[in-house]
Structure 1
């Protein structure tokens, strides 16, 4: 099992000054993660979603981290692959360049860029995003596997002008035939689609361990039974990567409160940008009991779901997922217990979410240190014994 971190670059009090500090703080965390024994770091891509994510150019963040590290894998996860966000051949070029700069440490994930705000900013047609993401993955993998390149698909035709040399992606990636491919999966049906395409699944873990186990079962079953007709490459990547929200401190109560507050900010940001909420979160919840608030909100949303007042997801726990705080918030023992359950489920890579909009830098660094000194060594020793 691998251990990684993910960066949304969230910010409760956005100003040009705090935004710049956030970016430098995130770089510091990522470099420290390598020192503490983490296997990878991942960075999302979002556009124009104030508070929720200021990571608009993750390839630049990741290139900076790559230059300051030597071992940790660099997860570009996930690139918004509808064509107006990032044209497929440009994805192939920039990702290959990042693989070169990191000396073959790149993982590449795909995403739809799921808000109307982002679509409007980049002139993306929301009705085409799923089809464009799939074709983009096929184009990227094809361009990397072939020295000379052309493409004739359902949505795009790419061919060199008559009489010219063939199209070519430069530079070539270090990893051959190409870096591992992933798909960001926020719903169980997308997890199944990831398996159909032969790419790794990057899943949200807010809904809890039962949800992670359910999605892992769906993914593995489809990997075992897929016909192979829909694979995006002749090289498959069947890695199941699950989000693990965590704050690990000596004071379990304090860690729970900081985690609940951070996840509340995260969940309310999602609610505003994805679900049309009235006001963006301010993060000004210092004087509230966020643990009680989150539990009450989760219960009320579950009840509203049961009454038919919320969308009827195929998985009940998704109704209140953003408000479930039964995660690795507590001491290192809490984190070890939680990861033990993820290990039992069969998760291949644990994706630690530490940097949330209201979590102070010193708490992020202390959590990284505690994982590096206690949690990760616990499982490394366990693997060595087995």
Structure 2
């Protein structure tokens, strides 16, 4: 199992001239350190209009900066919104190819369709259409990356025959992923041969069932791309401290701040109930988290907060249910001071990562170089 970072880039009020720059600078410092420590990847969301919760409307720019500050870490869109009112598919193909070139072939492309009414209505996108447009986009993207000339006549967009340049550095193309929040999306990912990019905080039993369904279906999939990306990722919080009580205390403050922000979001299903949005996605698990199962330390089940021994136990459980990667949120509204975030990353890399195949080689090499 491998470990990555996951960024919403939340910015606390009041917003002065330096506020957003400070948050972005902190994120980039974390990414540079994580690369030295042997973390596998860094992912960034695409969100619009979500005050404080996420000031990351241009992940391709943030990820380019990450690529310039790192040598080994993969950079991942988590996710690109595949809705024509947000992003034109030709521009997605072009931008991702350039980022893959600039990163030296380290790009992963996560796809999705947005889940908040604030964003969908802000771009005048119909919730009834987003799943259909996402499906069109993910079938077209690999062809635009690999075919010398491409044309398309479809439901939501069309183009005459043209040569789309440049082409990605990775051959045949970057791995494709799907954001999995609503129930059943892991099936959509498996049927298309795409990685499952889990963005919910469900418990082990729920995740294990999702992984089993995904693994079963992907064996007989019809991949949208040139290869099958059979990978399962989940998202988590991380705060690692030598003292368990302190780790849990700070970690719960981090997760509680994020959960509070997320609970304020207006989900598409709440504002515009439809078959296309049958679930609140991220929000129910966040609202239930405070009263969910935990352990004697007071930390919720599966959350990577506390001392290294506790976090190791929880990560081994994620490994046992079939997850290939855990991506960590490190902060929310700058609740955790930057130095504590950096210390947490160092301690996790030193005490936890070496216990996992896949993460151990890079972590050990990084430790040897310090």
TM bin (shorter chain)? 0.7 to 0.9
**Aligned mates of 1:356, 1:368 — CA distance in 2:** 16
Asked if structure 1 preserves the Cα contact closer than 8 Å seen for 2:180 and 2:199, the reply is yes
Instruction: Specify the alignment match of 1:3 in structure 2.
Output: 3
**Aligned mates of 2:148, 2:359 — CA distance in 1:** 43
Asked if structure 2 preserves the Cα contact closer than 8 Å seen for 1:246 and 1:354, the reply is yes
Instruction: Specify the alignment match of 1:15 in structure 2.
Output: 15
CA shift, 1:124, in A, is: 2.0
1:35-184 aligned within 5 A: 35-160=36-161, 167-184=162-179
**Aligned mates of 1:223, 1:188 — CA distance in 2:** 17
Asked if structure 2 preserves the Cα contact closer than 8 Å seen for 1:48 and 1:118, the reply is yes
CA shift, 1:180, in A, is: 0.1
Asked if structure 2 preserves the Cα contact closer than 8 Å seen for 1:205 and 1:212, the reply is no
1:153-302 aligned within 5 A: 153-160=154-161, 167-226=162-221, 228=222, 231-275=223-267
1:39-80 deviation per Cα after TM superposition (whole angstroms, max 9, x unaligned): 111111101101111111111111011111111101111111
1:345 aligns with 2:321: yes
Q: SS where residue 238 of structure 1 aligns? A: coil
**Aligned mates of 1:374, 1:361 — CA distance in 2:** 20
TM-score (norm 2): 0.86
Asked if structure 2 preserves the Cα contact closer than 8 Å seen for 1:207 and 1:320, the reply is no
**Aligned mates of 1:239, 1:356 — CA distance in 2:** 27
Measured on the aligned residues, the alpha-carbon RMSD in Å equals 2.3
Asked if structure 1 preserves the Cα contact closer than 8 Å seen for 2:112 and 2:178, the reply is yes
How many residues are paired up?
340
Instruction: Specify the alignment match of 1:290 in structure 2.
Output: none
Structure 2 unaligned residues grouped into runs of 5+: 269-277, 293-299, 362-370
User: Which sits farther off after the overlay, 76-85 or 96-105?
Assistant: 76-85
**Aligned mates of 1:38, 1:263 — CA distance in 2:** 21
Instruction: Specify the alignment match of 2:295 in structure 1.
Output: none
Asked if structure 2 preserves the Cα contact closer than 8 Å seen for 1:313 and 1:319, the reply is no
- Bigger helix share: 1
TM-score (norm 1): 0.82
CA shift, 1:152, in A, is: 2.3
CA shift, 1:360, in A, is: 2.3
1:355 aligns with 2:331: yes
1:268-306 deviation per Cα after TM superposition (whole angstroms, max 9, x unaligned): 222211349xxxxxxxxxxxxxxxxxxxxxxxxxxxxxx
1:107-141 deviation per Cα after TM superposition (whole angstroms, max 9, x unaligned): 00012121111123323222211111111111211
CA shift, 1:86, in A, is: 0.9
1:342-379 deviation per Cα after TM superposition (whole angstroms, max 9, x unaligned): 11111111112222222222222122111211211222
